[in-house]
Structure 1
């Protein structure tokens, strides 16, 4: 995007897709580093364009500044860094297992089927064809959760685990952009935990399962060897803070009400997903 000024950036894979599709995000155009080696497929570009057409609830700069509530990342040689390194080693032991395969699935923000990630936790199939109002709500809020991590990301520019240990990641096609995108905090973790919080509000009888799935979504980034444990944990703090802010936004509360009405009408008739594989993977 020649001559365009980078007003803001969104978590790695969203930035790749948005830039490749030439999509505007909220009030700011998303730019992709020129040296990125990632070339999303036409299907991925179309899928991301569909996701991003929902926009976001908060204006640019409207989310609480993450630098005010995210502390500095663990310092080299500190006990906190030792904890991060130990958690990274434990994650490497899961490479090639069903949990690794689930982490690959959780890594993909390109697809409109992203919301289906929470179907097992919800107990019914979530998607454009089954719960369109819930789908639109989650995708619109997703942008707010992802963008909110960037004040901290851009300030600290923390290196990711794979840059330190040289081991494989579950999305090798994204390595180029991940190297240029700060590790702390995790935007994926903020998105996953944020979606879990929204769904827990909509389906309170499944709140425990949904928050746990949002937590596991973020943990998948540690399993993928692209985020430290503290990155994932602080992503959850970003999500919680943004969720509180969204609840003061009239458009968000209106869409929550519409999504709640949709579920009250449809939930009993919605298809139930087959969760055997996912449950077994997450149990690891």
Structure 2
């Protein structure tokens, strides 16, 4: 699946359709339109060699992660667009300065859950700390299914959309989105294949909602506001 994830990563440069303002934070789509059970392979079986290998990766990171890596992983437990503040690198990149942009990304956040949660409930992959008591997470615990990673799906989805708004920083934004997903492994709360599946899911969700009229309208207003406020 890693090769598949890398291939889909090439799609991240896709340009956004013309996309204003989200009033209510309701998802742009849900599992009725994007059924991840049809899109993704099932997670590795609990007794499989791959599961044991992935556990080994988590345990290796657990004993080699630096304080700086740990701090980033803990901070990235938040699920919002403001985690990209470091790469946008502009003091005006705040919720208060960007009400349309903020409301638009509230809908993006809701979209991730509407698509991913039903699949998690079916696959019910145990989180690493529930699979092995050797795993000591440093981020908030969750008993929801581990596969695919919702955080990674959201980080990838936000990265694709934000990089379309600010193409001048596309590489930095997408690198940050990739780190956001990887930090779920660093935090001890997800397996590598959860992250790979989340990246695939994020790209597919982005490509799908770009065709929706409400997305197009709200995207354009959010993008215009962002670029004006940032002086781009």
Say whether the fold is shared (TM-score over 0.5).
yes
What's 2:82 paired with?
Answer: 116
Secondary structure (helix, strand or coil) at the match of 1:108 reads coil
In structure 2, the CA distance between the partners of 1:86 and 1:268, relative to structure 1 (3 Å rule), is same
- Indicate the RMSD between aligned Cα atoms, in angstroms: 2.2
User: Within 5 A, what are the aligned runs for 1:168-247?
Assistant: 168-171=136-139, 174-175=140-141, 178-179=142-143, 181-247=144-210
**Residue 101 of structure 1 is aligned with which of 59, 71, 84?**
71
The TM-score normalised by the length of structure 1 is 0.67
1:260 alignment counterpart:
223
Q: How many residues align?
A: 208
Runs of 4+ aligned structure 1 residues displaced above 6 Å come to: none
Is 1:54 matched with 2:25?
yes
TM-superposed CA distance for 1:230, in Å, is: 0.4
Per-residue CA shift, 1:215-240, capped at 9, x if unaligned? 11111111111110100110111111
Partner of 2:97: 130
CA gap of 1:94–1:258, structure 2 versus 1, over 3 A, is farther
In the alignment, which residue of structure 1 is the partner of 2:39? 69
Structure 2 CA distance for aligned equivalents of residues 267 and 226 of structure 1: 35
Equivalent-residue separation in structure 2 for 1:61 and 1:92 (angstroms):
34
- The 1-side partners of 2:61 and 2:170 are apart by 27
Match of 2:213 among 244, 250, 254: 250
Q: More relative contact order in 1 or in 2 (CA 8 Å, sep 6+)?
A: 2
Whether the 8 Å contact between 1:63 and 1:144 is mirrored in structure 2 is no
Deviation per residue, 1:93-126 (Å, 9 max, x gap): 24561111111111123xxxx3221012223243
Q: Is the 8 A contact 1:94 1:100 kept in 2?
A: no
Distance verdict in 2 for CA 1:253–1:94, change over 3 Å: farther
Partners of 1:69 and 1:190 lie apart in 2 by 14
TM-score, scaled relative to structure 2: 0.81
Alignment gaps of 5+ in structure 1 = 1-51, 270-284
Secondary structure of the residue aligned to 1:107 is coil
